[in-house]
């Protein structure tokens, strides 16, 4: 939680500074409003956005569900929802704002792995969920996109 707060404070300060440099006090207020909207959006909907970008669909597979259940129990977190991405490249990611609202997405290619290999990948993703890395990554991505957007606005306001 402290890491998340530090990240939000740092990125928020950068965001406000860029807003101030671009348009003075009114730019700073606009940046503050935008930062609050982006924070809330990233917190509540980042998992759905990421899963949608990959066209991931909720998925039931007895083998993977058993592994997730066992590994989540070992990690002391609720079992995340399971999603499938239809691609043959073996890959996986975790997303969600907290362990109660989390998901693990796996690709079709990952399902071809041996049980011990698949278990290692799923364990890695569950570690991200347990450590709340997913929320921090989502917030950082949202702020990076927003800062790039503000920089582009600044560029066009100066050179247009």
Q: Could you tell me the domains of the chain?
A: 2-159 (3.30.2010.10)
Q: List the catalytic residue out of 58, 86, 117, 125.
A: 125
pLDDT value of residue 141: 73
Question: Helix, strand or coil for residue 88?
Answer: coil
- Which pLDDT tens digit goes with each residue over 88-114? 999 999 999 899 999 999 999 999 999
pLDDT at 1: 67
The answer to whether residue 114 is catalytic is: no
pLDDT in tens, 7-58: 777 877 888 888 898 889 998 998 889 888 877 887 788 888 889 989 999 9
Residues linked to residue 82 through DSSP beta bridges, in sequence order? 104
Is the pLDDT assigned to residue 148 strictly greater than 70? yes
Q: Which residue blocks in the chain are alpha helix, DSSP H?
A: 2-53, 62-75, 115-130, 133-159
Separation between Cα atoms, residue 62 and residue 138, nearest integer Å: 29
What is the pLDDT, as a whole number, of residue 47? 86
pLDDT at 120 over 90: yes
For residue 128, the number of C-alpha atoms closer than 13 Å in the C-beta half-sphere is 22
């Amino acid at each position: 939680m402290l890491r998340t707060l530090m990240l939000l404070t740092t990125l928020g300060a950068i965001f406000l500074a860029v807003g101030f440099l671009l348009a003075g006090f009114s730019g700073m207020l606009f940046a503050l409003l935008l930062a609050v909207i982006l924070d809330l959006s990233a917190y509540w909907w980042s998992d759905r956005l990421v899963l949608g970008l990959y066209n991931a669909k909720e998925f039931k597979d007895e083998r993977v569900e058993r592994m997730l259940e066992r590994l989540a129990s070992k990690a002391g977190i609720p079992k995340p929802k399971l999603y499938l991405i239809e691609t043959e490249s073996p890959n996986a990611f975790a997303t969600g704002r907290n362990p109660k609202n989390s998901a693990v997405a796996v690709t079709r290619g990952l399902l071809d792995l041996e049980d011990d290999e698949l278990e290692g990948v799923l364990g890695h993703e569950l570690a991200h969920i347990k450590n709340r890395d997913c929320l921090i990554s989502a917030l950082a991505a949202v702020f990076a996109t927003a800062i790039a957007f503000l920089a582009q606005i600044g560029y066009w306001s100066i050179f247009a």
